[in-house]
Amino acid sequence: MHEPLMKILKMSKNFGPTKALKSVDVSFYNGEIRGLVGENGSGKSTITSIISGMQRQSDGKMYFRNALWQPQSMAEAQKFGIGMVLQEASTIKNVTVAENIYAGNFDLFTKFGILDKNKMNRAASELLKKLGINHINATDMINKYNYEDCKLIEIARCMRDDLEILILDETTTAISHEGRDLVYKIMQRFKQEGKSVIFISHDINEIISQCTHLSVLRDGQIVGHLEPEDMHKNDVVQRIRTLMVGRDIGDEYYRKDYDYSCSPDVALEFNNVSVGDLKRISFQLHKGEILGFGGLNGSGMHIIARAAFGLETPDEGEVLRHGQIVKNPHDAITKDIGFISKNRDEEAVVLKASILENIVLPSLSQLKKFGFVNPLKEKKISKKEMNFYSIKARNVSQIVNTLSGGNKQKVSFAKWTSRNSEVIIMVCPTRGVDVGVKQSMYKLMYQMKKQGKSILMISEELPELIGMSDRIIIMKNNEITKEFYRSEQLSEQDIIQYMI
Ligand SMILES: Nc1ncnc2c1ncn2[C@@H]1O[C@H](COP(=O)(O)OP(=O)(O)OP(=O)(O)O)[C@@H](O)[C@H]1O
């Protein structure tokens, strides 16, 4: 067998008392796409962040092209041909797409101290075209682009001619089918060129269809590797799940009933709302209803979520709760509306605050008595949520920034469920959570519906929309194109034709 491109031997990583990695051995070869899977907090991002120079291991060694590998920074790793797209959004605001792509590499276009912007813009345009990203303009300001486009721009940023290892950390989560297909094409081409891809995802079907090899982590240890011949066996999904969790958790994710009835009472109403490119949108979300929204990138469904929470002010029309206008996020919270954003680090959690502070934040006004909040009560509430969601952390005082991505998502969910919000707007609610937690989140959503709460779920995942919604509204080009009611017969194909 040929030599690995990157070899990791007995790698350990401790964060204080947390042992994130325990003597991990894993190798990455040319011409392979190796998936890394494991439950939230099992150590996937820790491995890739060490390979890519973001942090140092506590113990163990790495060899890159047979030489000892000890990168001091991400910039150094990139210079040597290792590029990583981080789990959270990491583009730089208020500069152009081209400037984002070549951030830190302006010297490529600088002569006698002067940056040749035209040359840089041309290079960025060519690169985007080469990657098949035709809808993004290199000279545009980055702020114009949404989460999904920014992920594609982040991939372009990694793509130097001499790139040898491309690391994608949950890059395909929370992006549309179109976007995902583009990422798959880039990965497959990269592999065909004899390079190496490390691919992290919680979507086992995606892993099976895209990866040539797989390594499974549990509690900071490698518990199994799958070779190409294992990847297409009938029991591969069960095998992966059993390795990850220690038992087969089955695949009964979604609610089983097909009863879409709910109260006639309206919990939230869009009345001829126009905002940005979105024109005259009207719909009602009922008490006890799970209303799903589906569409491609740029269909307008994400603006609906933002407007529903008062993050966007309509140019025309109004968003109403019990007949009153939802003016802004603060007003939305007082009206018992919660919002789980997919832009986790920027909008969903306060990174520098603890789990406890994040969880109780929207509930402070409810918890206050004579102007004070009882710390014991805060602790009790946050501990209960931490247990319910199995948030992997030392205790409720741990700072959210130090949690794994999926565990941050659980905190984002817990904020609103602990407040007992009556209406929750969920954008990609299961983004980055592992299969076990996904099951519990869906169960919770169903319980909430049964308790008369209302959920507006914006999702890129058709199975999730079909599996959980009472009603699904499909959007295309900022307009509503179709509405479906829950039914056993409803298929992805039925829906897709109204999205494209
Ligand atoms: N800076 C840090 N300080 C303290 N603990 C940390 C830090 N970074 C990571 N950890 C811990 O290390 C463990 C592994 O985290 P890691 O991000 O590698 O998990 P993951 O497998 O990528 O999870 P996910 O699927 O949720 O993204 C977790 O328990 C996490 O809380």
What does the pLDDT read at residue 347? 83
- For residue 440, pLDDT over 90 is answered with no
SS3 of residue 495 by DSSP:
helix
- For residue 405, pLDDT over 90 is answered with no
Task: Please tell me the distance from the alpha carbon of residue 320 to that of residue 281, in angstroms, as a whole number.
Answer: 13
Candidates 223, 171, 194, 435; CA nearest to 212 is 194
Residue 107: HSE in the Cβ half-sphere, 13 Å Cα cutoff: 3
Strands 221-226 and 337-340: unpaired
The alpha carbon dihedral of 344, 240, 152, 158 has a sign of positive
What does the pLDDT read at residue 174? 79
For residue 480, what are the β-bridge partners? Answer: 475
Here the tokens at position 130 are: 């080469």
pLDDT tens sequence across 75-86: 899 999 999 999
Q: Which atom of ligand 1 is nearest to the CA of 87?
A: 27
What does the pLDDT read at residue 157? 92
pLDDT tens sequence across 166-199: 999 999 987 888 899 999 999 999 999 999 999 9
Here the tokens at position 298 are: 């740029």
* Single-letter residue type at 62: M
What does the pLDDT read at residue 224? 95
**Cα of 42 from ligand 1 centre, angstroms:** 7
pLDDT tens sequence across 200-219: 999 999 999 999 999 999 99
What does the pLDDT read at residue 365? 80
Using the structure block, give the residue that is written with the tokens 């038992």. 247
- How far is the CA of 448 from the CAs of 3, 218, 374, in angstroms? 53, 31, 27
**Cα of 408 from ligand 1 centre, angstroms:** 10
| Phi–psi pair at 231, nearest 5 degrees | -70, -20
Task: Please tell me the distance from the alpha carbon of residue 71 to that of residue 50, in angstroms, as a whole number.
Answer: 8
**Cα of 419 from ligand 1 centre, angstroms:** 26
Using the structure block, give the residue that is written with the tokens 């909008």. 347
**Cα of 34 from ligand 1 centre, angstroms:** 20
Confidence of residue 161 (pLDDT cuts 50, 70, 90): confident
What does the mean pLDDT of the chain come to?
92
- Kindly provide the ipTM of the predicted complex, given to two decimals: 0.98
Mean pLDDT, residues 474-480 taken together: 95
- Give every strand in the sheet of 266-275, ordered side by side: 278-286, 266-275, 316-321, 324-325
Mean pLDDT, residues 350-361 taken together: 94
- For residue 251, pLDDT over 80 is answered with no
| Phi–psi pair at 353, nearest 5 degrees | -100, 165
The three-state (H, E, C) secondary structure of 354-414, written as one string: EHHHHHHHHHHHHHCECCECCHHHHHHHHHHHHHHCCCCCCCCCCEHHHCCHHHHHHHHHH
CB atoms within 10 A of CB 334: 12
Mean pLDDT, residues 105-125 taken together: 92
Instruction: Tell me the pTM.
Output: 0.85
- For residue 249, pLDDT over 80 is answered with no
Ligand 1 contact via 407 beta carbon (within 6 Å): yes
Share of the chain above pLDDT 70, in %: 99
pLDDT tens sequence across 418-437: 888 999 999 999 888 888 88
Residue nearest to atom 18 of ligand 1 (CA): 43
